Structure 1
Amino acid sequence: EADNGVKVEFSIPKEGALMWFDQMAIPTDAPHVDNAHAFLNFVMDAKVMAKNSNYVYYANGNKASQEFLNEDVIGDPAIYPPEETVKTLYTKTPYSPKAQRVVTRLWTKVKTGN
């Protein structure tokens, strides 16, 4: 299906766009905190991060990994946009507690059909 002659490209409007981050965290009640730290330390290693980015074509936040990135990853402005583009990106402001309750209730209705 993907090879149907349609070319899809990623672009960022000159006005800017929403920036997002994937994050990992250790829950306060995690039963194996030492293992979680060991895993995070492994994943955040520069060479491991670069290997993951090279595989999934997705940027990472570890600057030390950049020397290990394939040129088609580090050189792709859709993955690592130039600084002038980065300056136009913004993050989402967190909801107030009241607004978060409304969003949670609405999302629950969407998921449950109620």
Structure 2
Amino acid sequence: KIRPYVRKFHSSEYLSALATGEICLVVGWSGDIMQARSRAAEARNGITVGYAIPKEGAQMFFDNLAIPADARNVEDAYELINFLYRPDIAARNSNFLSYANGNLASQKLLDPKILNDKNIYPDEATLAKLFVITARDPATQRIINRLWTKVKTGR
């Protein structure tokens, strides 16, 4: 029933569209929403972007770094990973992207606005309501795919 009121389902266009006021509501990743907020503020376009984690909870995700088994430059890959995990670099990335990082040593280098933002670094009560998606058996995944297609198409 809600489909006529949904402009689009898209996983990457919402950042700019939210910042410009083209759309007014998204379900998205915290860092993307924070970046949209910054873009709107920089543009001084009268758009104010807010963000909230639902009181019921939400999905949590983690970015990962991996080296393919057949990589040609394994040592270089380790160098990059070691560089990104340096506290100063992890803090700079978090400060720029508004995404939390798992490097505790970087916290003393974080902008207090980032570190103290409970939407970026949730408190324990909020963390208890967050969940991660796990792999599902093929039959369950087919049902999820069909339901999601029905939501997106209205059929």
Of residues 101, 107, 121 in structure 2, which corresponds to 1:80?
121
- Larger RCO of the pair (alpha carbons < 8 Å, separation 6+): 1
TM-score (norm 2): 0.60
Deviating above 2 A after TM superposition, structure 1's stretches of 4 or more consecutive aligned residues are: 1-8, 95-100
Aligned-CA RMSD value? 2.1
Paired position in structure 2 for 1:23: 64
Deviation at 1:97, TM superposition (A): 5.2
Distance 1:35 1:64 in 2: 24
Q: State the Cα distance separating 1:95 from its structure 2 match.
A: 2.3
Q: Does 1:55 align with 2:96?
A: yes
1:9 partner SS: coil
The C-alpha deviation readout for 1:10-65, integer Å capped at 9, x for no partner, is 11111111101111100101010000001100100111100111111111111111
SS in 2 for 1:85: helix
TM-score (norm. length: structure 1)? 0.80
The equivalent residue for 1:44 is 85
Task: State how 1:88-107 maps to structure 2 within 5 Å.
Answer: 88-96=129-137
Count of paired positions: 104
Distance 2:107 2:135 in 1: 30
Distance 1:38 1:97, change over 3 A: farther
1:92, distance to aligned residue in structure 2 (A): 0.5
**Structure with the higher helix share, 1 or 2:** 2
Give unmatched runs, 5+ long, in structure 2. 1-19, 21-39, 147-155
